[in-house]
């Protein structure tokens, strides 16, 4: 039996290491700090008794749990990513453990009055009576996807400790830079050698996703011109107004807050502007490949 506290401790040991990825970086991993967790994970996989643990020069980690049966079984894989989203800071994470959640508001941060409420996040009610782990509201937790890594490492540890449970060869793969859309770019599928694999990166308990959307990101830079507000008639070009025109020219209802299921969208994820330059960041998604291409060309 693996104790619950052991799993919580493992998860906390991962989330307290900052592994935020950076879309502006050209390297892999996109941030050096991802190595901090990558190296720890490779060592941990060895420590629990996994075979063929490798970490390549781009921080992709692979390991094998050999089959313990005589007959042929397909090789399956489990995959997760150790970077966290650059949308919000992942530094100085202070996890809070809530035992036996009672279904009411959770005060994340008294000082800043940050509350996690089932009024806003209905899904919370699905976890009544369970142990929840949250941040203090000032950072990401990084459960995406250090929860997936915790699940995989703990499952492998369990299987190693309980050899009477029969299984075929199991492959484990951990990647950097998934949150910036590059997790799969340098994943050596052949070396991984699984007949099929599962990505342990979901949301609700019991959810299984077996298809995926097409996705792309776009950065749009609008250049303006500034001289001096007092002498600028006919000269100033205020990039923020042109950027606003651009935003308004896209279909306003094809956004995440107006779409569901297979509907695609344009998601304006950030706007940073001054007179001289405004930068828009978009995410485009569509299940349908031809509609996806149409979205890209419209943009
Ligand atoms: Zn994820």
Q: Ligand 1 centre from 146 Cα, in Å?
A: 8
> What pLDDT, on a 0 to 100 scale, did the predictor assign at position 288?
96
> Do 76 and 145 fall into the same domain?
yes
> What pLDDT, on a 0 to 100 scale, did the predictor assign at position 232?
83
> Do 71 and 98 fall into the same domain?
no
Structural domain including 111 reads 94-137
> What pLDDT, on a 0 to 100 scale, did the predictor assign at position 202?
83
> What pLDDT, on a 0 to 100 scale, did the predictor assign at position 230?
86
Q: Among all residues, which ones are annotated catalytic?
A: 83, 178
Q: Ligand 1 centre from 229 Cα, in Å?
A: 46
Place of tokens 């009544």: 128
> Do 105 and 24 fall into the same domain?
no
> What pLDDT, on a 0 to 100 scale, did the predictor assign at position 205?
79
Whether residue 237 is contained in a domain is answered as yes
What is the C-alpha R_g of the chain?
Answer: 23
Phi, psi of 85 (to 5 degrees): -65, 135
- The tally of domains found in the chain comes to 3
The partner residues of 171 in beta bridges, in order of sequence, read 64, 77
Q: How far is CA 130 from CA 145, 184, 205, 265, 285, in A?
A: 20, 33, 12, 34, 34
> Do 252 and 113 fall into the same domain?
no
Domain CATH code at residue 41: 3.40.630.10
> What pLDDT, on a 0 to 100 scale, did the predictor assign at position 43?
98
Q: Ligand 1 centre from 79 Cα, in Å?
A: 10
Instruction: Using 50 as the pLDDT threshold, list the residues of the chain that sit under it.
Output: none
Residue finishing a domain among 157, 172, 199: 199
> What pLDDT, on a 0 to 100 scale, did the predictor assign at position 203?
78
> Do 129 and 249 fall into the same domain?
no
3-class SS of residue 43: helix
> Do 131 and 17 fall into the same domain?
no
> What pLDDT, on a 0 to 100 scale, did the predictor assign at position 141?
97
Whether residue 260 is contained in a domain is answered as yes
Q: Ligand 1 centre from 203 Cα, in Å?
A: 9
> Do 279 and 168 fall into the same domain?
no
Whether residue 12 is contained in a domain is answered as yes
> Do 105 and 20 fall into the same domain?
no
Q: Ligand 1 centre from 144 Cα, in Å?
A: 5
Place of tokens 């991802």: 34
> What pLDDT, on a 0 to 100 scale, did the predictor assign at position 204?
80
Q: Ligand 1 centre from 81 Cα, in Å?
A: 7
**HSE toward the beta carbon, residue 239, CA cutoff 13 A:** 17
Whether residue 208 is contained in a domain is answered as no
> Do 251 and 285 fall into the same domain?
yes
3-class SS of residue 78: strand
């Amino acid at each position: 039996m693996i104790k619950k506290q052991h799993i919580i401790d493992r998860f906390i040991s991962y989330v307290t290491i900052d592994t935020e990825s950076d879309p502006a970086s050209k390297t892999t991993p996109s941030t050096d700090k991802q190595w901090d967790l990558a190296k720890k994970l490779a060592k941990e996989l060895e420590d629990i008794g996994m075979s063929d643990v490798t970490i390549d020069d781009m921080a992709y980690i692979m390991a094998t749990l050999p089959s313990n049966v005589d007959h042929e079984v397909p090789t399956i894989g489990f995959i997760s990513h150790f970077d966290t989203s650059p949308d919000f800071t992942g530094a100085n994470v202070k996890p809070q453990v809530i035992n036996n959640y009672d279904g009411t508001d959770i005060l994340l941060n008294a000082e800043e009055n940050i509350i996690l409420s089932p009024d806003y996040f209905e899904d919370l009610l699905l976890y009544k009576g369970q142990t929840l782990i949250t941040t203090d509201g000032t950072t990401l937790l990084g459960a995406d996807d250090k929860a997936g890594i915790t699940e995989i490492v703990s499952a492998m540890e369990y299987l190693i400790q309980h050899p009477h449970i029969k299984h075929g060869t199991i492959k484990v793969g951990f990647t950097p830079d998934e949150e910036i859309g590059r997790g799969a770019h340098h994943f050596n599928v052949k070396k991984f050698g699984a007949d099929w694999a599962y990505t342990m990166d979901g949301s609700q308990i019991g959810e299984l996703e077996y298809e995926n959307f097409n996705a792309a990101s776009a950065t749009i830079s609008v250049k303006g011109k500034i001289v001096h507000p007092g002498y600028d008639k006919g000269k100033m070009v205020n990039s923020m107004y042109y950027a606003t025109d651009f935003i308004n020219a896209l279909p306003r209802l094809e956004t995440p807050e107006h779409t569901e299921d297979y509907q695609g969208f344009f998601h304006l994820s950030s706007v940073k502007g001054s007179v001289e330059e405004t930068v828009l960041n978009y995410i485009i998604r569509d299940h349908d490949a031809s509609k996806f291409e149409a979205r890209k060309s419209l943009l």
